[in-house]
Chains A and B, each alone.
Chain A
Amino acid sequence: MTSKVFKDAKAALFDMKDGASVMSGGFGLCGIPENSILEIRRLGLKNLHAISNNIGNSGRGLAWLLKEKQISQATCSYVGGNPDLEEQMLANEVEVTLVPQGTFSERIRAAGMGIRGFYTPAGSGTEVAEGKESRTFDMPCLLELPLTADFAIIKAQKGDAYGNLWFQETARNFSPLMAMAAKVTIVEVEELVELGEILPENVHLPGVFVQRIYQGADYENTIEIPVFEDQN
Protein backbone atom coordinates (compact mmCIF):
# COMPACT_ATOMS: atom_id res chain seq x y z
CA MET A 1 0.00 0.00 0.00
CA THR A 2 1.39 3.39 -0.92
CA SER A 3 1.44 5.72 2.02
CA LYS A 4 -0.30 9.07 2.01
CA VAL A 5 2.10 10.35 4.65
CA PHE A 6 4.79 12.75 3.48
CA LYS A 7 7.74 14.07 5.43
CA ASP A 8 6.99 17.77 5.11
CA ALA A 9 5.60 20.51 2.85
CA LYS A 10 8.53 20.25 0.44
CA ALA A 11 7.92 16.53 -0.10
CA ALA A 12 4.13 16.88 -0.33
CA LEU A 13 4.09 19.73 -2.87
CA PHE A 14 6.63 18.07 -5.21
CA ASP A 15 4.47 18.32 -8.35
CA MET A 16 2.83 21.73 -7.98
CA LYS A 17 3.64 23.86 -11.02
CA ASP A 18 3.30 27.41 -12.32
CA GLY A 19 -0.27 28.18 -13.37
CA ALA A 20 -1.86 25.71 -10.95
CA SER A 21 -5.27 26.37 -9.45
CA VAL A 22 -5.02 26.05 -5.68
CA MET A 23 -7.82 26.05 -3.12
CA SER A 24 -6.63 27.14 0.29
CA GLY A 25 -8.65 26.63 3.47
CA GLY A 26 -9.16 29.16 6.23
CA PHE A 27 -11.36 32.08 7.20
CA GLY A 28 -9.18 35.16 7.47
CA LEU A 29 -6.09 33.66 9.10
CA CYS A 30 -8.06 31.06 11.07
CA GLY A 31 -7.18 27.53 9.98
CA ILE A 32 -4.84 28.47 7.10
CA PRO A 33 -2.28 25.95 5.79
CA GLU A 34 0.79 27.96 6.78
CA ASN A 35 3.44 25.40 5.86
CA SER A 36 2.10 24.70 2.35
CA ILE A 37 1.72 28.43 1.60
CA LEU A 38 5.30 29.12 2.70
CA GLU A 39 6.51 26.22 0.55
CA ILE A 40 4.74 27.72 -2.49
CA ARG A 41 6.53 30.97 -1.73
CA ARG A 42 9.87 29.15 -1.44
CA LEU A 43 9.25 27.34 -4.74
CA GLY A 44 8.54 30.71 -6.35
CA LEU A 45 5.58 29.36 -8.32
CA LYS A 46 3.97 31.97 -10.55
CA ASN A 47 0.68 32.68 -12.27
CA LEU A 48 -1.35 30.82 -9.67
CA HIS A 49 -5.14 30.84 -9.44
CA ALA A 50 -5.91 31.08 -5.73
CA ILE A 51 -9.36 30.02 -4.55
CA SER A 52 -9.86 31.00 -0.94
CA ASN A 53 -12.40 33.04 1.03
CA ASN A 54 -10.03 35.94 1.74
CA ILE A 55 -6.77 35.23 -0.20
CA GLY A 56 -4.89 35.90 3.02
CA ASN A 57 -5.48 38.78 5.41
CA SER A 58 -3.53 41.41 7.28
CA GLY A 59 -0.43 40.73 5.15
CA ARG A 60 -0.28 37.03 6.06
CA GLY A 61 -1.34 33.67 4.68
CA LEU A 62 -1.90 33.86 0.91
CA ALA A 63 -0.94 37.56 1.15
CA TRP A 64 2.64 36.23 1.46
CA LEU A 65 2.22 35.07 -2.15
CA LEU A 66 0.46 38.28 -3.23
CA LYS A 67 3.48 40.27 -2.01
CA GLU A 68 5.73 38.13 -4.27
CA LYS A 69 3.32 38.60 -7.23
CA GLN A 70 2.77 34.84 -7.44
CA ILE A 71 -1.02 35.05 -7.79
CA SER A 72 -2.55 36.26 -11.06
CA GLN A 73 -6.13 35.13 -10.51
CA ALA A 74 -8.21 35.00 -7.34
CA THR A 75 -11.66 33.65 -6.56
CA CYS A 76 -12.96 34.75 -3.17
CA SER A 77 -15.89 36.34 -1.34
CA TYR A 78 -14.26 39.08 0.70
CA VAL A 79 -11.41 41.53 0.13
CA GLY A 80 -11.87 43.74 3.23
CA GLY A 81 -8.96 43.34 5.65
CA ASN A 82 -6.61 42.31 2.84
CA PRO A 83 -4.90 45.51 1.62
CA ASP A 84 -2.48 43.54 -0.60
CA LEU A 85 -5.37 42.08 -2.58
CA GLU A 86 -7.41 45.29 -2.75
CA GLU A 87 -4.38 47.18 -4.06
CA GLN A 88 -3.48 44.58 -6.71
CA MET A 89 -7.16 44.23 -7.67
CA LEU A 90 -7.66 47.96 -8.24
CA ALA A 91 -4.33 48.05 -10.19
CA ASN A 92 -5.54 45.12 -12.34
CA GLU A 93 -2.56 43.00 -11.34
CA VAL A 94 -4.77 40.24 -10.02
CA GLU A 95 -7.99 39.24 -11.75
CA VAL A 96 -10.47 38.88 -8.91
CA THR A 97 -13.78 37.06 -9.13
CA LEU A 98 -16.00 37.82 -6.15
CA VAL A 99 -18.50 35.12 -5.27
CA PRO A 100 -21.14 35.32 -2.52
CA GLN A 101 -19.77 33.26 0.36
CA GLY A 102 -22.60 30.74 0.53
CA THR A 103 -22.42 30.23 -3.23
CA PHE A 104 -18.63 29.94 -2.96
CA SER A 105 -18.81 27.19 -0.35
CA GLU A 106 -21.66 25.37 -2.08
CA ARG A 107 -19.94 25.45 -5.51
CA ILE A 108 -16.90 23.85 -3.88
CA ARG A 109 -19.03 21.29 -2.06
CA ALA A 110 -20.91 20.55 -5.30
CA ALA A 111 -17.65 19.80 -7.11
CA GLY A 112 -16.71 17.28 -4.45
CA MET A 113 -20.19 15.75 -4.19
CA GLY A 114 -20.84 15.23 -7.89
CA ILE A 115 -23.57 17.88 -8.11
CA ARG A 116 -23.49 19.38 -11.61
CA GLY A 117 -25.20 22.63 -10.75
CA PHE A 118 -27.67 24.21 -8.35
CA TYR A 119 -29.99 27.21 -8.11
CA THR A 120 -29.66 29.79 -5.37
CA PRO A 121 -31.26 33.21 -4.79
CA ALA A 122 -27.94 34.74 -3.66
CA GLY A 123 -26.90 37.44 -6.11
CA SER A 124 -30.13 37.67 -8.08
CA GLY A 125 -30.92 41.25 -9.04
CA THR A 126 -27.24 42.21 -8.61
CA GLU A 127 -24.07 42.35 -10.71
CA VAL A 128 -23.40 38.74 -9.70
CA ALA A 129 -26.34 37.66 -11.89
CA GLU A 130 -24.80 39.03 -15.09
CA GLY A 131 -24.39 36.32 -17.72
CA LYS A 132 -25.93 33.63 -15.54
CA GLU A 133 -28.95 31.49 -16.30
CA SER A 134 -31.79 32.40 -13.96
CA ARG A 135 -34.99 30.62 -13.06
CA THR A 136 -37.82 31.59 -10.77
CA PHE A 137 -38.95 29.06 -8.19
CA ASP A 138 -40.54 30.67 -5.10
CA MET A 139 -38.14 33.54 -5.90
CA PRO A 140 -35.67 34.33 -8.71
CA CYS A 141 -32.58 32.13 -8.53
CA LEU A 142 -29.26 31.81 -10.38
CA LEU A 143 -27.71 28.65 -11.77
CA GLU A 144 -24.33 28.13 -10.16
CA LEU A 145 -21.78 25.56 -11.28
CA PRO A 146 -19.21 23.48 -9.37
CA LEU A 147 -15.83 24.97 -8.53
CA THR A 148 -12.85 22.64 -8.60
CA ALA A 149 -9.06 23.01 -8.53
CA ASP A 150 -5.82 21.16 -9.27
CA PHE A 151 -4.86 21.22 -5.60
CA ALA A 152 -6.39 21.90 -2.21
CA ILE A 153 -4.02 22.86 0.59
CA ILE A 154 -5.68 22.66 3.97
CA LYS A 155 -4.81 22.42 7.65
CA ALA A 156 -6.40 20.33 10.40
CA GLN A 157 -5.61 20.05 14.07
CA LYS A 158 -5.41 16.26 13.94
CA GLY A 159 -5.13 13.74 11.14
CA ASP A 160 -4.13 10.10 10.70
CA ALA A 161 -2.27 8.17 8.02
CA TYR A 162 -5.46 7.51 6.04
CA GLY A 163 -6.28 11.23 6.05
CA ASN A 164 -9.16 11.21 8.52
CA LEU A 165 -9.31 14.73 9.93
CA TRP A 166 -10.47 16.55 13.03
CA PHE A 167 -10.69 20.34 13.08
CA GLN A 168 -10.55 22.60 16.11
CA GLU A 169 -13.39 25.06 16.81
CA THR A 170 -14.06 27.43 13.88
CA ALA A 171 -10.89 26.38 12.00
CA ARG A 172 -12.98 23.95 9.92
CA ASN A 173 -14.70 26.51 7.65
CA PHE A 174 -14.01 25.75 3.95
CA SER A 175 -11.33 23.09 4.45
CA PRO A 176 -13.38 19.86 4.31
CA LEU A 177 -15.26 21.17 1.25
CA MET A 178 -12.03 22.01 -0.57
CA ALA A 179 -10.62 18.60 0.31
CA MET A 180 -13.61 17.01 -1.41
CA ALA A 181 -13.41 19.24 -4.48
CA ALA A 182 -9.76 19.30 -5.56
CA LYS A 183 -7.97 16.73 -7.71
CA VAL A 184 -5.13 16.49 -5.17
CA THR A 185 -5.69 17.38 -1.52
CA ILE A 186 -2.64 18.08 0.60
CA VAL A 187 -3.28 18.28 4.34
CA GLU A 188 -0.96 19.59 7.02
CA VAL A 189 -1.76 18.78 10.62
CA GLU A 190 -0.61 19.99 14.01
CA GLU A 191 -0.78 16.41 15.26
CA LEU A 192 -0.31 13.35 13.07
CA VAL A 193 -1.97 10.64 15.15
CA GLU A 194 -2.32 6.84 15.00
CA LEU A 195 -5.21 5.30 13.08
CA GLY A 196 -8.13 4.97 15.48
CA GLU A 197 -7.06 7.83 17.71
CA ILE A 198 -9.71 10.01 16.11
CA LEU A 199 -12.81 8.00 16.99
CA PRO A 200 -14.95 7.16 13.93
CA GLU A 201 -17.81 9.32 15.22
CA ASN A 202 -15.44 12.24 15.63
CA VAL A 203 -14.04 12.21 12.08
CA HIS A 204 -14.98 15.55 10.48
CA LEU A 205 -13.60 14.57 7.06
CA PRO A 206 -13.18 10.92 6.05
CA GLY A 207 -9.73 10.08 4.67
CA VAL A 208 -11.05 9.01 1.26
CA PHE A 209 -10.94 12.69 0.25
CA VAL A 210 -7.27 13.14 1.15
CA GLN A 211 -4.31 12.25 -1.08
CA ARG A 212 -1.36 13.52 0.99
CA ILE A 213 -0.83 14.38 4.63
CA TYR A 214 2.13 15.66 6.62
CA GLN A 215 3.01 16.85 10.07
CA GLY A 216 3.39 20.62 9.96
CA ALA A 217 5.77 22.72 12.05
CA ASP A 218 6.34 26.19 13.49
CA TYR A 219 2.73 27.40 13.42
CA GLU A 220 2.15 31.10 14.00
CA ASN A 221 -1.64 30.69 14.47
CA THR A 222 -1.98 34.46 14.32
CA ILE A 223 -4.95 36.04 16.06
CA GLU A 224 -6.03 38.80 13.68
CA ILE A 225 -8.28 40.86 15.93
CA PRO A 226 -7.96 40.02 19.61
CA VAL A 227 -10.92 41.33 21.59
CA PHE A 228 -11.22 40.48 25.27
CA GLU A 229 -14.02 40.47 27.81
CA ASP A 230 -12.96 43.61 29.66
CA GLN A 231 -12.82 45.64 26.43
CA ASN A 232 -16.56 45.32 25.82
Chain B
Amino acid sequence: MSVSKNHWSKNEMVDQVIEMLSDGSSLNLGIGIPTLIAQRIPPEKGIWIHSENGVLGVAGRPTPQSVSATLINAGKETISVKKGASYFDSSMSFGMIRGGHIDVCVLGGMQVDAEGSLANWMIPGKKVTGMGGAMDLVHGAKLVIVMLTHFSKRGEVKLLHRCTLPLTGKGVVHKIVTDLGVFTPTGESFQIEKLAPGVTEEQLGIPDGLLSLAK
Protein backbone atom coordinates (compact mmCIF):
# COMPACT_ATOMS: atom_id res chain seq x y z
CA MET B 1 0.00 0.00 0.00
CA SER B 2 1.54 3.26 -1.07
CA VAL B 3 0.92 6.54 0.67
CA SER B 4 -1.68 8.66 -1.11
CA LYS B 5 -0.61 11.94 -2.66
CA ASN B 6 -3.77 13.40 -1.20
CA HIS B 7 -3.05 13.86 2.45
CA TRP B 8 -2.92 16.51 5.14
CA SER B 9 0.37 18.19 6.01
CA LYS B 10 1.49 18.09 9.64
CA ASN B 11 0.08 21.58 10.15
CA GLU B 12 -3.25 20.52 8.65
CA MET B 13 -3.30 17.52 11.05
CA VAL B 14 -2.62 19.95 13.90
CA ASP B 15 -5.56 22.11 12.77
CA GLN B 16 -7.86 19.06 12.94
CA VAL B 17 -6.89 18.67 16.61
CA ILE B 18 -7.29 22.37 17.36
CA GLU B 19 -10.88 22.20 16.03
CA MET B 20 -11.64 19.65 18.77
CA LEU B 21 -10.46 21.91 21.62
CA SER B 22 -12.98 23.89 23.64
CA ASP B 23 -12.02 27.43 24.63
CA GLY B 24 -10.25 27.60 27.98
CA SER B 25 -9.49 23.88 28.19
CA SER B 26 -6.33 22.37 29.70
CA LEU B 27 -4.21 20.42 27.25
CA ASN B 28 -1.24 18.09 27.57
CA LEU B 29 0.95 17.62 24.50
CA GLY B 30 3.10 14.55 23.90
CA ILE B 31 6.53 14.44 22.31
CA GLY B 32 6.73 14.56 18.49
CA ILE B 33 4.02 15.90 16.14
CA PRO B 34 1.78 16.99 19.07
CA THR B 35 4.34 19.62 20.17
CA LEU B 36 3.55 21.49 16.91
CA ILE B 37 0.09 22.21 18.33
CA ALA B 38 1.46 24.72 20.88
CA GLN B 39 2.57 27.06 18.11
CA ARG B 40 -0.68 26.98 16.10
CA ILE B 41 -3.32 27.46 18.77
CA PRO B 42 -4.93 30.90 18.39
CA PRO B 43 -4.24 32.78 21.67
CA GLU B 44 -7.90 33.87 21.85
CA LYS B 45 -8.92 30.24 22.53
CA GLY B 46 -7.38 30.66 25.98
CA ILE B 47 -5.97 27.11 26.11
CA TRP B 48 -3.77 26.18 29.10
CA ILE B 49 -0.99 23.91 27.91
CA HIS B 50 0.34 21.49 30.51
CA SER B 51 3.69 19.76 30.28
CA GLU B 52 4.17 16.87 32.68
CA ASN B 53 7.65 17.93 33.79
CA GLY B 54 5.85 20.55 35.87
CA VAL B 55 4.39 23.56 34.07
CA LEU B 56 0.89 24.78 33.21
CA GLY B 57 0.69 27.72 30.81
CA VAL B 58 3.25 26.88 28.09
CA ALA B 59 3.31 29.57 25.40
CA GLY B 60 5.59 29.07 22.44
CA ARG B 61 9.34 29.59 22.43
CA PRO B 62 11.87 31.89 24.06
CA THR B 63 14.18 34.32 22.29
CA PRO B 64 17.97 33.84 22.53
CA GLN B 65 17.83 36.61 25.17
CA SER B 66 15.04 35.12 27.33
CA VAL B 67 16.01 31.43 27.05
CA SER B 68 16.46 29.58 30.35
CA ALA B 69 18.10 26.18 31.01
CA THR B 70 15.51 25.54 33.71
CA LEU B 71 12.45 26.18 31.53
CA ILE B 72 11.70 23.23 29.26
CA ASN B 73 8.81 21.03 28.14
CA ALA B 74 8.53 17.25 28.40
CA GLY B 75 10.43 16.94 25.11
CA LYS B 76 13.38 18.74 26.81
CA GLU B 77 12.93 21.68 24.42
CA THR B 78 13.17 25.26 25.62
CA ILE B 79 9.82 27.01 26.05
CA SER B 80 8.32 30.21 27.33
CA VAL B 81 5.22 30.63 29.49
CA LYS B 82 2.25 32.97 29.43
CA LYS B 83 0.88 35.20 32.17
CA GLY B 84 -0.86 33.07 34.77
CA ALA B 85 1.47 30.09 34.33
CA SER B 86 2.54 27.93 37.28
CA TYR B 87 5.34 25.49 38.14
CA PHE B 88 5.02 22.42 40.34
CA ASP B 89 6.65 19.09 41.16
CA SER B 90 6.08 15.84 39.25
CA SER B 91 3.67 14.41 41.78
CA MET B 92 1.33 17.38 41.50
CA SER B 93 1.77 17.35 37.75
CA PHE B 94 0.61 13.75 37.49
CA GLY B 95 -2.06 14.40 40.09
CA MET B 96 -3.51 16.91 37.62
CA ILE B 97 -3.50 14.16 35.01
CA ARG B 98 -4.63 11.20 37.15
CA GLY B 99 -7.19 13.30 38.99
CA GLY B 100 -9.02 14.22 35.78
CA HIS B 101 -8.08 17.90 35.76
CA ILE B 102 -6.52 17.84 32.30
CA ASP B 103 -9.24 18.05 29.64
CA VAL B 104 -7.36 16.81 26.60
CA CYS B 105 -4.13 14.99 25.86
CA VAL B 106 -2.60 14.49 22.44
CA LEU B 107 -0.09 11.67 22.04
CA GLY B 108 1.95 10.21 19.24
CA GLY B 109 1.62 6.53 18.43
CA MET B 110 3.20 3.54 16.71
CA GLN B 111 -0.08 1.59 16.48
CA VAL B 112 -3.69 2.17 17.49
CA ASP B 113 -6.55 -0.31 17.20
CA ALA B 114 -10.32 -0.50 16.77
CA GLU B 115 -10.69 -1.19 20.47
CA GLY B 116 -9.04 2.17 21.23
CA SER B 117 -5.82 0.62 22.47
CA LEU B 118 -2.53 2.42 21.89
CA ALA B 119 1.06 1.20 21.49
CA ASN B 120 3.74 3.88 21.59
CA TRP B 121 6.63 2.94 23.88
CA MET B 122 8.61 -0.02 22.57
CA ILE B 123 9.35 -2.38 19.71
CA PRO B 124 10.57 -5.60 21.38
CA GLY B 125 14.26 -6.28 20.71
CA LYS B 126 14.63 -3.20 18.50
CA LYS B 127 13.74 0.05 20.14
CA VAL B 128 12.83 1.09 23.64
CA THR B 129 11.87 4.65 24.44
CA GLY B 130 9.95 3.94 27.62
CA MET B 131 6.40 4.95 28.39
CA GLY B 132 7.27 8.23 30.10
CA GLY B 133 3.96 9.76 31.16
CA ALA B 134 1.84 8.18 28.43
CA MET B 135 0.37 5.37 30.56
CA ASP B 136 -0.85 7.92 33.11
CA LEU B 137 -2.13 10.33 30.47
CA VAL B 138 -4.29 7.83 28.59
CA HIS B 139 -6.31 7.04 31.73
CA GLY B 140 -6.38 10.53 33.20
CA ALA B 141 -7.27 12.98 30.46
CA LYS B 142 -10.98 13.37 29.61
CA LEU B 143 -10.32 13.34 25.85
CA VAL B 144 -7.43 11.24 24.51
CA ILE B 145 -6.37 12.05 20.95
CA VAL B 146 -3.71 10.10 19.07
CA MET B 147 -1.87 11.79 16.20
CA LEU B 148 0.14 9.64 13.87
CA THR B 149 1.01 9.16 10.22
CA HIS B 150 -1.43 6.70 8.67
CA PHE B 151 1.32 4.44 7.32
CA SER B 152 4.77 3.54 8.66
CA LYS B 153 7.86 4.31 6.58
CA ARG B 154 7.65 0.70 5.39
CA GLY B 155 4.10 1.30 4.18
CA GLU B 156 2.31 -0.64 6.94
CA VAL B 157 -1.00 0.79 8.13
CA LYS B 158 -0.90 1.81 11.79
CA LEU B 159 -4.67 1.47 12.39
CA LEU B 160 -5.20 -2.19 13.18
CA HIS B 161 -7.85 -4.63 14.39
CA ARG B 162 -5.61 -5.23 17.42
CA CYS B 163 -2.19 -3.73 18.22
CA THR B 164 0.70 -6.18 17.91
CA LEU B 165 3.22 -4.08 19.90
CA PRO B 166 3.20 -3.81 23.72
CA LEU B 167 0.30 -1.61 24.81
CA THR B 168 0.42 1.79 26.45
CA GLY B 169 -3.22 1.50 27.41
CA LYS B 170 -6.19 -0.72 26.56
CA GLY B 171 -9.39 0.86 25.25
CA VAL B 172 -8.31 4.41 26.07
CA VAL B 173 -8.23 6.36 22.79
CA HIS B 174 -11.19 8.59 21.85
CA LYS B 175 -10.04 10.16 18.56
CA ILE B 176 -7.36 9.40 15.98
CA VAL B 177 -5.95 12.02 13.61
CA THR B 178 -3.80 10.77 10.74
CA ASP B 179 -2.62 12.47 7.57
CA LEU B 180 -5.57 10.82 5.80
CA GLY B 181 -8.45 11.43 8.15
CA VAL B 182 -10.07 11.65 11.57
CA PHE B 183 -11.39 8.42 13.11
CA THR B 184 -13.18 7.22 16.24
CA PRO B 185 -12.40 3.71 17.49
CA THR B 186 -15.77 2.15 18.35
CA GLY B 187 -14.62 -1.19 19.71
CA GLU B 188 -15.32 -3.15 16.55
CA SER B 189 -14.29 -0.64 13.91
CA PHE B 190 -12.84 2.74 13.01
CA GLN B 191 -15.65 5.19 12.42
CA ILE B 192 -14.67 7.69 9.73
CA GLU B 193 -15.32 11.22 10.98
CA LYS B 194 -13.59 13.02 8.16
CA LEU B 195 -11.22 12.29 5.29
CA ALA B 196 -8.55 14.61 3.90
CA PRO B 197 -9.59 16.14 0.55
CA GLY B 198 -9.43 13.60 -2.26
CA VAL B 199 -8.80 10.61 0.01
CA THR B 200 -10.96 7.56 -0.62
CA GLU B 201 -11.82 4.71 1.77
CA GLU B 202 -9.77 2.35 -0.39
CA GLN B 203 -6.64 4.40 0.26
CA LEU B 204 -6.92 3.90 4.03
CA GLY B 205 -5.50 0.38 3.93
CA ILE B 206 -8.04 -0.68 6.56
CA PRO B 207 -10.12 -3.82 5.80
CA ASP B 208 -13.75 -3.00 4.89
CA GLY B 209 -15.08 -4.82 7.93
CA LEU B 210 -13.06 -2.55 10.19
CA LEU B 211 -14.46 0.69 8.75
CA SER B 212 -17.75 2.34 9.57
CA LEU B 213 -19.31 5.65 8.64
CA ALA B 214 -20.25 8.37 11.08
CA LYS B 215 -23.95 8.30 11.89
Contact = CB atoms under 8 A, between A and B. Distances in A.
Interface of A: 27-31, 53, 57, 76-81, 86, 89-90, 98, 100-106, 108-109, 120-128, 139, 157, 167-177, 204, 221-232
B94 to A, nearest CB: 3
B184 interface: no
B170 A126 contact: yes
B70 to A, nearest CB: 4
Given A120-B98, A223-B78, A125 B171 contact: yes
Interface stretch (B131-139, B192-200, B207-215): B131-139
B130 A228 contact: no
B6 interface: no
Interface string B36-63: 0001000000000001111100001111
Nearest to B118: A126
Contact of B135 (A100, A170, A175, A232): A100
Q: How many residues of B sit at the interface, in one of the four size bands?
A: 35 or more
B4 interface: no
B108 to A, nearest CB: 11
A98 B168 CA distance: 12
B167 interface: yes
Interface stretch (B13-21, B82-90, B174-182): B82-90
Given A170-B87, A173-B89, A225-B76, A101 B70 contact: no
A171 B70 contact: yes
A30 B97 contact: no
B135 A123 contact: yes
B12 interface: no
Given A98-B131, A101-B94, A126-B168, A170 B63 contact: no
Contacts of B77: 224-227
A176 B93 CA distance: 13
B60 A122 contact: no
Nearest to B85: A169
Contact of A173 (B80, B90, B134): B90
A206 B98 CA distance: 26
A226 B170 contact: no
A105 B53 contact: no
Interface of B: 31, 39, 51-55, 60-64, 67-72, 74-80, 87-91, 93-94, 97-98, 117, 121, 125, 128-136, 139-140, 166-171
Contacts of A76: 130
27 contacts: A27-B72, A27-B74, A77-B132, A78-B130, A79-B130, A86-B128, A100-B134, A100-B136, A101-B131, A102-B90, A105-B90, A121-B98, A121-B140, A125-B169, A125-B171, A126-B168, A126-B170, A139-B139, A167-B87, A169-B87, A170-B72, A177-B89, A221-B70, A225-B78, A226-B67, A229-B62, A230-B63
Contacts of A90: 125, 128
B90 to A, nearest CB: 4
A183 to B, nearest CB: 19
A58 B63 CA distance: 23
Contacts of A102: 52, 90, 94, 97-98, 133, 135-136, 140
Contacts of A124: 139, 169-170
A37 to B, nearest CB: 16
Nearest to A109: B91
A228 B39 CA distance: 12
Given A102-B133, A172-B88, A227 B69 contact: no
Q: What are the 6 A-B residue pairs with the smallest beta carbon separation, nearest first?
A: A125-B170, A102-B94, A102-B136, A80-B129, A100-B135, A105-B90
A104 B39 CA distance: 30
B76 A173 contact: no
Kindly name the residue among A167, A224, A227 whose own CB sees the greatest number of chain B CB atoms within 10 A. A227
Contacts of A27: 53-54, 72, 74, 76, 90
Nearest to A89: B128
A177 B90 CA distance: 8
A140 B205 CA distance: 33
